Amino acid sequence: MSSLSKTITKIRNYIRRNPQQVDRGRRIVRDRLSRRRGGSGGQGNPPRGSI
């Protein structure tokens, strides 16, 4: 339990330090989710050619 709270504080500090990178990561995750659902490429970026 204590280790979990420690990691949470670490993540919070990271977010405070570089919000842009966190935002980019969130966008990537959202993009991945939308692609799994069958959405076309997410926000404005073209879908990577169907294999």
Render pLDDT for 19-28 as a digit per residue (tens, 0 to 9): 888 888 888 8
* pTM across the whole model: 0.39
Which residue would you say has higher pLDDT here, 1 or 50? 1
Question: Is residue 47's pLDDT more than 70?
Answer: no
Q: Three-state secondary structure along the chain?
A: CHHHHHHHHHHHHHHHHCHHHHHHHHHHHHHHHHHHHCCCCCCCCCCCCCC
